Amino acid sequence: METIAAIPKYNLTEEQEKKLILREYRSLLRSLKTKLKKGDKELVRQAFELAAEAHKTMRRKSGEPYILHPLAVAKICIEEIGLGVRSTICSLLHDTVEDTDVTLDEIEKEFGSEIARIVDGLTKISNVIDVNASMQAENFKKILLTLTDDPRVILIKLADRLHNMRTMESMKREKQLKISSETVYVYAPLAHRMGLYNIKTEMEDLAMKYMEQDTYKDIARKLADTKRERSRYINEFIRPVKEKLEKAELDFAIYGRPKSIHSIWNKMKKKGVAFEEVYDLFAIRVILDSPPEKEKEDCWKVYSMITDEYTPSPERLRDWLSNPKSNGYEALHTTVMGPQGKWVEVQIRTRRMNEIAEKGLAAHYKYKEGTGDESRFDKWFQQIREVLSTQETDGVDFLQDFKTSFLAEEIYVYTPKGDVKMLPIGSSALDFAFSIHSVIGTKCIGAKLNHKLVPISYKLRSGDQIEIITSNKQKPSEDWLNMVVTAKARNKIKDALKEERRKVAEEGKYILQRRLDNIGAAFSQFNIDELTAFYKLNSPLDLFYRIATKALDLSELKEFKLLGDKLEPPKPLKPAEIKQEGAGTMQPKKDAELIIFGESSDRIVYTLAKCCTPIPGDDVFGFVTTGEGLKIHRTSCPNAARLMANYGHRIVKTKWAKNKEISFLTGVKIVGLDDVGVINKITNLISGELRININALTVEAKDGLFEGNIKVYVHDKEELDELVARLRQLGGIHAVERYELDDV
């Protein structure tokens, strides 16, 4: 669902529009041809006519007729996710209940209860996510409840989101940022978890196109520039492998596939390298046509031929044939040393595995007959149901838990009896204990890993065999929450801590009652609330607990006045002058010039976020915090996606105004050869030629290389970009990049 505006940006007559809609509808039927059974075509037509009629007065932001959106979503469901007739009908109707006069009862009467249930699920999700941004995380559970009820709901929702991402040009910038953040934060990981790699990749790329425009364009341009030499290299790499495969009479396809812009950018950030140094800009893919009983054997045969030709990197072998991922992904990945000393990633899989990798869940169920494999998905759904039924935390916490528990890559560990347990990456021995049983978790004091003793915080790796050691004297403590990543463990620990806290708080309650009696005040709800507010605590339970643990000594009670038996708190002192946060990051103590778009055009007090230290010229947005006013973040800030996805309603559109009087502190990291006079060259360039003030300089030399961190005052991003470009041109400099100030 999206906001509708009747501002046509293209000029088609009514007649041309009708033809366009009909053309798209016929194209949809062609895609569906192989899946149509008797009577299906009539049902699809009925759904199309109902949707076209319901949406006939509505237009998308671009001005085109709204019905083109449900048609496009239905087409994505068929062609890119592999869904069938029922899902096509649901896709066509997915916005009708939400946006038009059509009711769920009408849909049920016309199309039956199964379709009505899915459309209902899609309507709930629309209400949750698209209409009210602030409630997104809070209601995320509803989506998952529907997902575990019928996975098609989430698959159609992913198609809906993908089409909205593909057609976002006409939207306002802040809407583009909000939708992109939400997509990268929730939908792309969800697509990945459903096994839809192509959709996940495209979503990440499209989100990056809006959130980090300059970097996206830069990498896209460089990919286009290097396309020809890449193709030449791929052909050179493939030639000898192809000959071997043909000789072995295997039925195969082999080709090179470029990596996504988003994954290349991630590599550049993770490894701290420039585009030119990212070696795996593409992957070679071998797709085999093998009968089910020979799939594994043939994949290993191909692996053997490739590694005969090129030397493999032993630690880069990934065997998902023996242990498929929980989203059904099966393949063999290896990285080999190709011609000209370049590392090349090779992915080997069969046609069936390839369809599962591209179509995910839908293909998985198509192939599941006669195998026990679908239980991996079912287990995953079961785990989600379990967490949903016991979950009490607020939505934002829940969303975070869900991401780490259910959307992360997984590892496989073994029980002492040899049973396999699947856990998210980053899980500890304590997570494993809770995954067996909550009682074992709460009593866990340590573990034996491959027969060696390890602490409960020990991070597990795939292939570990683990045995839990328990004691009846053990009780969970607050720091356990930092040791676990699974939602089940977190919930059980929180429950146990609450129970423990309640017991301790009883003692605090008794102490407070005595103290209030002594001064003649009543032990009433009014007085308890006054004290809770005075000490800035969240609840009376917190107050009692702190009194019991002596974190509060109640010495301020003597400053309270008594009105009858009611307490009146002392008047607060006048606050001393508060030093403005962020002032230290600027040279003159004067505000930066930012244009803040909002109801009021007055100057608004804001601070610069320390997590990403924005400077003029950076793409920025304002975020209204609770208690600290407006904070300015870069759109590429590590926290940006989380803030925009969870708290869309608190985002304020901002951009920089030109102001050359103010300098901002930022950092530059330089790596180069440790040569005589190199530091002199650097400081001469910065201070002498570019007249930029240096705030701090640290240099470490080791084994002939040096790494320098320089803090400089710049006026804006242009000045910083010029500095980085000029430093890169100096002899002996290997890499130059901006770093966040709290990184060092």
Q: Which residues pair with 344 in a beta bridge?
A: 336
Tokens of 381: 């759904």
Give the model's pLDDT for residue 333.
92
For 601-621, write each residue's pLDDT tens digit: 345 677 888 888 888 878 888
- Residue 734 scores a pLDDT above 50: yes
In this structure, is residue 277 part of a structural domain? yes
Q: Is 388 within a domain?
A: no
Element (H, E) at 78: helix 68-79
Beta strands in 544-598 (DSSP E): 561-563, 566-568, 594-596
Give domain status of residue 352, yes or no: yes
Using CA atoms, how far residue 349 sits from 316, 328, 375, in Å, is 17, 13, 22
Share of the chain above pLDDT 90, in %: 13
* pLDDT at position 21 over 50: yes
DSSP for residue 292: G
C-alpha span between 621 and 645 (Å, rounded): 13
DSSP 3-state percent helix, strand, coil across the chain (nearest 5): 50, 15, 30
Residue that is last in its domain, among 211, 232, 258: 211
- Is the predicted pLDDT of residue 137 greater than 60, yes or no? no
In the Cβ-directed half-sphere of 431, how many Cα atoms lie within 13 Å? 26
Q: What is the pLDDT of residues 695-718, one digit of tens each?
A: 888 888 877 788 889 988 888 888
Which run of H or of E encompasses 651? strand 651-656
Tell me if residue 401 is catalytic. no
Query: Mapping DSSP to helix (H, G, I), strand (E, B) and coil, where does residue 168 land?
Result: coil
* Whether residue 175 is found in the same domain as residue 269: no
> Is the model's pLDDT at 373 over the cut of 60?
no
Strands ordered across the beta sheet of 630-634: 594-596, 651-656, 620-624, 630-634, 606-608
Question: CA 546 to CA 559: how far, in whole Å?
Answer: 19
As given in the structure block, the two tokens for residue 451 are: 């027969």
Mean pLDDT, range 173-177, rounded to an integer: 84
Q: Which residue carries 């591209």 as its tokens?
A: 358
pLDDT at 382: 62
Distances (CA, A) of 25 to 18, 49, 53, 158, 423: 11, 10, 14, 21, 44
> Do residues 26 and 132 share a domain?
yes
* Terminal C-alpha separation, the chain: 44
pTM: predicted TM-score of the whole model, two decimal places: 0.62
**Are 199 and 288 in a shared domain?**
no
> Which pLDDT value is given to residue 135?
44
pLDDT beyond 80 at 147: no
Taking 60 as the threshold, does the pLDDT of residue 649 lie above it?
A: yes
Angle at 130 between CA 124 and CA 132, to 5 degrees: 90
Burial of 690 (0-12, 13-18, 19+ CB in 10 A): middle
> Over 60: is that where the pLDDT of 52 sits?
yes
Whether 416 maps to a domain, the answer reads no
Residues 291 and 159 in one domain: no
Q: Is residue 366 very low, low, confident or very high in pLDDT (cuts 50, 70, 90)?
A: low
What's the rounded mean pLDDT across residues 249-256? 90
Q: Mark whether 557 and 691 lie in a shared domain.
A: no
Instruction: Give pLDDT, residue 143.
Output: 55
Residue 734 sits in a domain whose CATH number is 3.30.70.260
The number of folded domains in the chain is 5
- pLDDT reported for residue 574: 40
Amino acid at 599: E
Residue 401: CB atoms within 10 A of its CB come to 20
**Is residue 289 predicted with pLDDT exceeding 60?**
yes
* Pair 3, 95: CB distance under 8 Å: no
User: What does the pLDDT read at residue 362?
Assistant: 61
Statement to judge: residues 174 and 249 lie in one domain:
no
Phi then psi for residue 486, to 5 deg, are -80, 145
Q: What gap in Å lies between CA 165 and CA 170, rounded to an integer?
A: 11
- Do 227 and 285 share a structural domain? yes
514, pLDDT greater than 70: yes
Are the beta carbons of 663 and 608 closer than 8 angstroms? no
Contacts with 225 (C-beta within 8 Å, 6 or more apart), sequence order: none
Place of tokens 């040569």: 675
Distance of CA 660 to the CA centre of its chain: 37
Q: How far is CA 722 from CA 269, 314, 495, 514, 709, in A?
A: 20, 42, 55, 69, 17
Query: Which of 113, 189, 121, 126 lies closest to 151, judged by CA?
Result: 121
Averaged pLDDT for residues 557-571: 76
pLDDT above 70: residue 156: yes
Domain of residue 62, CATH code: 1.10.3210.10
Of 367, 396, 413, the domain-final residue: 367
More confident residue, 414 or 371: 414
Rg (CA), the chain: 30
pLDDT the model gives residue 348 = 94
Q: What is the pLDDT at residue 699?
A: 86
Same domain membership, residue 733 and residue 639: no
Read off the pLDDT of residues 205-238 as tens digits, 9 standing for 90 and up: 999 999 888 889 988 998 888 888 888 999 999 9
Q: Which of 656, 688, 718 is the last residue of a domain?
A: 656
Task: Express as a percent the part of the chain with pLDDT over 70.
Answer: 82
pLDDT band at residue 132 under the 50/70/90 scheme:
very low
Residues 18, 106, single domain; the answer is yes
- Examine the domain organization and report whether 158 and 226 are in the same domain: no
Mean pLDDT of the chain: 79
Decide if 99 is catalytic: yes
pLDDT in the model for residue 346: 94
**192 compared with 366, residue with greater pLDDT:** 192
735 or 159, higher pLDDT: 159
pLDDT at position 721 over 90: no
Question: 227 and 207 share a domain?
Answer: no
More confident residue, 450 or 495: 495
Which candidate in 24, 40, 79, 99 is catalytic? 99
Residue 609, C-beta contacts closer than 8 angstroms, at least 6 positions apart: 623, 631, 632, 633, 634, 637, 639
Residue 496 has pLDDT above 70, yes or no: yes
C-alpha span between 181 and 165 (Å, rounded) = 11
pLDDT of residue 127: 52
DSSP, residue by residue, 488-555: HHHHHHHHHHHHHHHHHHHHHHHHHHHHHHHHT----HHHHHHHHHHTT-S-HHHHHHHHHTTS---G
Query: CA-CA distance, 353 to 140, in Å (whole number)?
Result: 31
659 band by pLDDT with thresholds 50, 70 and 90: low
Q: Which of 17, 24, 79, 98 is catalytic?
A: 98
- Domain region containing 712: 664-743
List the CATH number of the domain containing 239: 3.30.460.10
What pLDDT, in 10s, does the model give residues 578-592?
333 333 333 333 344
